Amino acid sequence: MPRVSLNLAREVHDALDRRGIAHVLIGGAALAAYGLHRSTLDLDFLALDPAILEIAAWRQLGEATRIEIHRGDLSEPLAGTVRLRRPGERPVDVVVGRFRWQREIVERAVEYRLADRVVRVPTAADYLLLKLSAGGARDAWDVAELLASDLGAEAAAQVDRRIADLPESARAMWRELRERS
């Protein structure tokens, strides 16, 4: 199987850094920071600055980069999403949060070395909150895996203290997963 380049992910990370936009690595790649591994086809970042929902924020990535921007409406938990693609590269998604609890996740993030970069990742508890908010089947699996790890008990206690900030659907998923763990 051919290797997939991470150049686009590095360039996205660097572009956000240059603009002074706080961001964290999320999704399957962030699981590695907790000693858990799963295959993922893309890399995901969480940021909070809606300015990155403008095409001009990404022009420096070159003409070969395909940029798709989705702006969320007020009923969605995200202000929007930017999907960046380039031939031979892993796609990169930058999701833009809009709530105080998402801002607090970015503020509490910890450093993690990924390849030749230091990136910030959510704490284990904050990773769980993000996955609970996303609410999909893969997200539930990630939550269950992290709960079963050595970090699970401590992270779960922190989630118990913060879960009230999330929508009812996330709280319901948390109750169900806690009953199973």
Structural fold of domain 1-122: Beta Polymerase; domain 2 (3.30.460)
pLDDT of residue 28: 86
- C-alpha 4/C-alpha 105 separation (Å) is 29
What percent of the chain lies above the pLDDT cut of 70?
Answer: 97
Token couple for 68:
């798709």
What integer pLDDT is reported at residue 35 of this predicted model?
87
Q: What is the mean pLDDT of the chain?
A: 92
Q: Report pTM.
A: 0.91
Q: pLDDT band at residue 167, thresholds of 50, 70 and 90?
A: very high
Nearest to 88 by CA among 25, 6, 173: 6
Beta strands in the chain (DSSP E): 23-26, 43-47, 66-71, 78-85, 92-97, 110-114, 117-121
Residue 1 pLDDT more than 50? Answer: no
Rounded to whole angstroms, the Cα distance separating 88 from 93 reads 16
| Domain range annotation of the chain | 1-122, 124-181
Instruction: Name the nearest CA neighbour of 26 among 159, 125, 131, 118.
Output: 131
Higher-confidence residue of 124 and 38: namely: 124
Interval 68-115: pLDDT, tens? 999 999 888 899 999 999 998 889 999 999 999 999 999 999 999 877
SS3 content of the chain, % helix, strand, coil (to 5): 50, 25, 30
3-class secondary-structure state, position 110: strand
Identify any residues that bridge with 47 across adjacent strands, giving them in sequence order: 23, 96
